[in-house]
């Protein structure tokens, strides 16, 4: 039963990647990105005002950090994913997103002083090769000639933003209840995305896109983070993070059923390389010992 929570979160997030793709042509990225967080804020507010007031003495000195976290983890990450969905496949998005744990590990090595391991080095090479296979559609020569598809490039930047977000979250240790911190970041996302929403074209809400907005709001923005936070509390961060490795597989399966996306051989090869690199980076923890020059 304890594994149900991380699995639920992963299934919801994988489904949300497909929702990103379904939203193309139905609602503009600036709209769904804004409405998602606005509705989440409205639903959370009646329950969260009292806890926010109770913890205000601890919130106030950390407002700058909370703003940075909200911008990276909520606004930049998800907004770029909505724009990327118009230019690449949900399967590609899921495979690229699976780089997040490895990117977070690399950021932790750089900024938190975490020890470099052989697994991190080898895993980085394997995962990079895997993503290169996917974004080049199996033709590395085409990739070198034409560069990365804009949608895949956006998804790489979005994944990096979330990896930096995860690292800062660990580095700063804000000592706030997880739900309070999530709510405050949602408010930041609403404020940051408001100008983009105001000055962008709008399709308006209708029967075709309201279910997509509600999925993104109630499931991906509220239920999934709560399930994930519960998993971190009960299983621990290391064991919970392992479930993230299932994201590309589940995304590809849902995309094949819902979107009729065809899985090519390069998806399989690239996905296995990327997944293998991430698992290797987490499992092979032998530290790299740099040789120090001997004194004469």
Question: Does residue 159 have a pLDDT over 90?
Answer: no
Provide the pLDDT for residue 237: 65
Length of the chain: 296
Token match 């979005």: residue?
158
Name the more confident of 21 and 296.
21
- The span from the CA of 287 to the CA of 108, in Å, is 14
Question: Average pLDDT over the chain, rounded to whole?
Answer: 83
Locate 4 and state its tokens.
Answer: 């149900």
* Rg of the chain on CA atoms, in Å: 20
pLDDT at 234 (0 to 100): 81
Q: Given a cut of 70, is residue 85 above it in pLDDT?
A: yes
Burial 270-292 (b: 16+ CB within 10 A, else e): bbbbbbbbbbbbbeeeeeeeeee
Which tens digits make up the pLDDT trace of 161-213? 988 888 888 888 888 888 999 999 999 999 999 999 999 988 888 888 999 99
Q: What is the pLDDT of residues 7-62, one digit of tens each?
A: 898 899 889 988 988 998 899 999 999 999 999 999 999 999 999 999 999 999 99
Q: Where are the alpha helices (DSSP H) in 72-139?
A: 77-84, 90-97, 100-111, 118-135
pLDDT in tens, 210-256: 999 999 999 998 898 888 888 877 876 666 776 777 787 788 888 88
- pLDDT recorded at residue 142: 61
What is the rounded distance in angstroms from the CA atom of residue 19 to the CA atom of residue 31? 14
Q: In this structure, what token pair is assigned to residue 251?
A: 């995304």
């Amino acid at each position: 039963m304890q594994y149900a929570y991380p699995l639920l979160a992963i299934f919801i997030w994988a489904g949300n990647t497909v929702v990103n793709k379904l939203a193309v042509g139905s609602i503009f990225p600036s709209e769904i990105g804004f409405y998602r967080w606005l509705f989440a804020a409205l639903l959370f507010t009646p329950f969260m005002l009292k806890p926010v007031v109770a913890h205000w003495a601890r919130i106030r000195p950390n407002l700058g950090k909370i703003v940075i976290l909200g911008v990276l983890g909520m606004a930049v990450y998800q907004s770029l994913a909505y724009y990327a969905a118009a230019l690449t496949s949900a399967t590609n998005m899921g495979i690229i997103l699976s780089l997040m744990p490895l990117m977070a590990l690399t950021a932790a090595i750089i900024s938190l002083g975490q020890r470099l391991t052989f697994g991190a080095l080898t895993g980085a090479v394997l995962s990079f090769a895997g993503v290169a296979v996917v974004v080049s559609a199996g033709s590395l020569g085409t990739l070198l000639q034409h560069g990365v598809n804009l949608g895949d490039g956006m998804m790489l930047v979005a994944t990096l933003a979330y990896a930096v977000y995860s690292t800062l979250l660990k580095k700063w240790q804000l000592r706030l209840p997880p739900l309070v911190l999530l709510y405050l970041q949602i408010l930041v996302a609403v404020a940051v995305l408001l100008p983009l929403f105001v000055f962008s074209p709008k399709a308006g809400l209708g029967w075709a896109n309201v279910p997509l907005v509600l999925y993104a709001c109630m499931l991906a923005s509220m239920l999934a983070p709560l399930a994930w936070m519960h998993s971190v509390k009960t299983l621990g961060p290391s064991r919970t993070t392992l479930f993230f490795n299932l994201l590309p597989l589940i995304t590809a399966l849902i995309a094949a059923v819902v979107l009729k996306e065809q899985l090519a051989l390069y998806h399989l090869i690239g996905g296995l390389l990327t997944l293998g690199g991430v698992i290797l980076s987490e499992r092979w923890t032998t530290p790299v010992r740099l040789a120090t020059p001997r004194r004469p």
